[in-house]
């Protein structure tokens, strides 16, 4: 599976590329998948690295937060474009523009955070709390999204978009990885 090989490549200290050590193949497949098209090509490797690599630095010189900052900026821009194209808010006055951009930024921030690690606070994603189904998350293992009905719907929509972008990138990278093997 691509995600497992990609995670191994991210966490290895030995990037030799010979018959016994094929760690760089997953990294090359991820890069080629970004270049090979699809609407999520800008986000593919960043999403995979943030989701599977966990953003945790393994050496003192690594900057684990840089990827998340770049990803959040790019995702906020994409959400803003989607919000404007789908006309989430009707802009009638100048102050509507600021309100709309504030809402787009919040939707981007919350959707990315929930997609990356939205496990239920009460059951830690196990779906069981105090020996029975968790009532906080209704047994889903995911933290409920808070906000108004329209806001929650937009956040769920963007979480679905993130999942689709990541799956599409993983499928393209997996296909590139199979061609190499």
- Global model pTM greater than 0.75: yes
Q: What is the pLDDT along the chain (181 residues), one digit of tens a residue?
A: 777 777 777 777 777 666 666 667 777 777 777 777 655 455 777 787 777 766 544 444 444 566 788 889 999 999 999 999 998 988 888 888 889 999 999 999 999 999 998 899 999 889 998 888 999 999 889 999 988 899 999 999 999 999 998 888 888 888 887 776 5
Pull the structure tokens for residue 123.
Answer: 């059951």
Distance CA 7, CA 69 (A): 20
3-state secondary structure of 78: helix
pLDDT of 107: 96
Distances in whole angstroms, Cα of residue 45 to Cα of each of 1, 85, 88, 151, 155: 16, 25, 28, 28, 22
Q: Which domain holds residue 72?
A: 2-180
Closest to 10 in 3D by CA, of 71, 80, 47, 57: 57
Helices (H), the chain: 2-11, 24-35, 44-52, 64-85, 94-117, 149-180
Domain count, the chain: 1
Instruction: Say how far residue 105 (Cα) sits from the centre of its chain.
Output: 16
pLDDT of 22: 65
């Amino acid at each position: 599976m691509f995600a497992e090989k990609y995670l191994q490549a991210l966490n290895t200290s030995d990037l030799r590329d010979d018959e016994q050590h094929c760690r760089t193949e997953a990294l090359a497949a991820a890069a080629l998948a970004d270049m090979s098209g699809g609407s999520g090509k800008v986000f593919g490797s960043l999403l995979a690295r943030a989701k599977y690599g966990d953003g945790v630095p393994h050496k003192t010189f690594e900057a684990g937060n840089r990827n998340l900052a770049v990803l959040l900026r790019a995702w906020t821009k994409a959400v803003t474009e989607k919000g404007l194209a789908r006309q989430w808010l009707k802009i009638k006055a100048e102050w509507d523009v600021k309100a709309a951009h504030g809402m787009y930024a919040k939707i981007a921030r919350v959707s990315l955070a929930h997609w990356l690690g939205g496990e239920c606070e009460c059951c830690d994603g196990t779906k069981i709390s105090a020996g029975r189904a968790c009532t906080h998350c209704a047994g889903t293992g995911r933290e409920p999204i808070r906000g108004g009905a329209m806001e929650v719907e937009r956040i769920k929509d963007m979480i679905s978009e993130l999942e689709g972008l990541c799956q599409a990138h993983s499928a393209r990278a997996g296909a590139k990885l199979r061609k190499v093997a």
